[in-house]
Chain A
């Protein structure tokens, strides 16, 4: 069966520090991968998506970047965190156009102090 892993579960980082969040999927090949952010009082916002290795699309201009070094690995990064980067980050995957639905990871709670 397919599973999705995200880590770490929680993270407290100072302003200006770097960030690396990792997401991996097991049990499937060539998934579409997504990073969403959920900020307090706001809905889930799509940050990045990837349809293949090295293929990254950005939905919102921001202080973050994403990479997909392997088929089932998706990494969210920042060189220098801002206070506004605080939020709940969720990774998700689907196959093809998403006709079979999306599966989400357990999320990472990031607090920038």
Chain B
């Protein structure tokens, strides 16, 4: 059974810092991996989607990497801003799976 773990559970940083959020998964037979952002009381916004054949994806200040063989993904946020404060969720879609399996998320707080 696929399990997804995100470390740390919470992170507080001052504005301007570069930071890394970690995601690990137990079954490397994945179809793709998706990073989402969730603001308090809101739905999920897709940030980046990495196919199993890809190593990384970039969107603006965000860069996500995937090492399928080791079961790891990282989300790198450059020059963090207070507006980046949110919960970041990692989710994997297994090759034989029917739906995304989520980690519990990392709650990020960026202070000005």
Residues of A within 8 A of B (CB): 6, 34, 36, 42-44, 46, 49, 57, 59, 88, 90, 92, 97-107, 109
Cβ contacts B3-45/A at 8 Å (1 or 0 each): 0100000000000000000000000000110101000011111
Residues of B within 8 A of A (CB): 4, 31-32, 34, 36, 41-46, 49, 51, 89, 91, 93, 98-105
Residue among B44, B45, B98 making CB contact with A49, cutoff 8 Å: B98
Bound state CA distance, A42 and B104, in angstroms?
Answer: 6
Closest to A88 in B: B41
Which residues of the partner chain B approach A107 to less than 8 Å between Cβ atoms? 41-43
> A46 to B99, Cβ gap below 8 A?
yes
Bound state CA distance, A40 and B100, in angstroms?
Answer: 19
> A97 to B46, Cβ gap below 8 A?
no
> B43 to A98, Cβ gap below 8 A?
no
> B43 to A90, Cβ gap below 8 A?
yes
Bound state CA distance, A88 and B105, in angstroms?
Answer: 15
> A49 to B99, Cβ gap below 8 A?
yes
> A99 to B104, Cβ gap below 8 A?
no
Which residues of the partner chain B approach A104 to less than 8 Å between Cβ atoms? 36, 43-46
